[in-house]
Structure 1
């Protein structure tokens, strides 16, 4: 099992960061390799991703959701991973978002990618892109 922890500070209130993170269908806008996320129920969704040039689909379920504080999930089939995102109030206009992700790399390509630190690099990039995605654009 591989574990990744990444955090980013964003210039938006916790409520705004949390609200954006719960719009799962918009994940492809900032998550590398995520082609689409479709809700299939209140807490269930189907993800379509690309890993090492291969398309994969898996189902995930939200296992815990505390508004403004945390969201946890785990896969129910396909790939094996689980995670939690926590939201921390820094000020009325600033928040810290922390992602903890546990994965079980499957197949030679994923195992090699994990050993090379690609999962960690992708998570770090996703968090940076989330920051750019959620923060209001600066006036020119």
Structure 2
């Protein structure tokens, strides 16, 4: 397994950074190569990716989730990957977001990219896009404040703050993620 660790500081409270990261469907807005994420249940996600021209779909399980602290996951099938996102309070309106990703390069292109640290550069670039996304908004598009540990899911479900379920309403009659605003 190849391991990458990258971090970024964001100028928002830790709860805002964490809450936004729980909105998995928004990942394509700041993660290159992620085309779609569907949340199947509180602890299972379905990813559609296209990286270096290779399309893949896989399910991942959230293995640990503690509000304002950590979200960890592991894939349930190929391609094998696992990791965590840690959130640290750096001040009242400042947070640290640190990603550790373990993955198994499969294709020649993936192996070459890992050897040349292209994957590390991509994770760093995606964290910078997350920083721009959340600092521009200064608020999350939604939140999930429950706790996941092993197979247990506890606590509250979705919290939508300024949203209507799946995104902030837009003037064209849709929400941020493109679903009709009915």
**TM-score class, shorter:** over 0.9
Runs of 4+ in 1 over 4 A off after TM superposition: none
Superposition TM-score, scaled by structure 2 size: 0.74
Q: CA deviation at 1:77?
A: 0.8
1:81-117 CA-to-partner distances (Å, cap 9, x unmatched) read: 1001000001110000000111110121211111111
Between Structure 1 and Structure 2, the one with more strand by share is 1
Distance 1:70 1:8 in 2: 15
Match of 1:71 in 2: 71
The offset of 1:136, in angstroms, is 3.0
- Quote the residue 2:115 is aligned against: 115
Give 1:14 shift.
0.2
Question: What is the rounded CA distance, in whole Å, between the counterparts of 1:20 and 1:78 in structure 2?
Answer: 27
Structure 2 stretches lacking a partner, 5+ long: 139-182
Cα displacement (A) at 1:78: 2.2
In the comparison of the two structures, how many residue pairs are matched?
138
The 1-side partners of 2:25 and 2:114 are apart by: 26
2:125 is aligned to: 125
Q: Which residue in the other structure is 1:92 paired with?
A: 92
Match status 1:47 vs 2:47: yes
- How far apart are the structure 2 equivalents of 1:91 and 1:5? 22
Structure 1 equivalent of residue 176 of structure 2: none
| Partner residue, 2:150 | none
Paired residue for 1:106? 106
Provide the TM-score with structure 1 as the length reference.
0.95
With 21-30 and 44-53 compared, the bigger mean Cα shift is at 44-53
Q: Which residue is equivalent to 2:33?
A: 33
Q: Shift of residue 137 of structure 1?
A: 5.6
Q: Which runs of 5+ in 1 are unaligned?
A: none
Q: Of the two, which has the highest radius of gyration?
A: 2
Q: Which has the higher helix share?
A: 1
Aligned to 2:14: 14
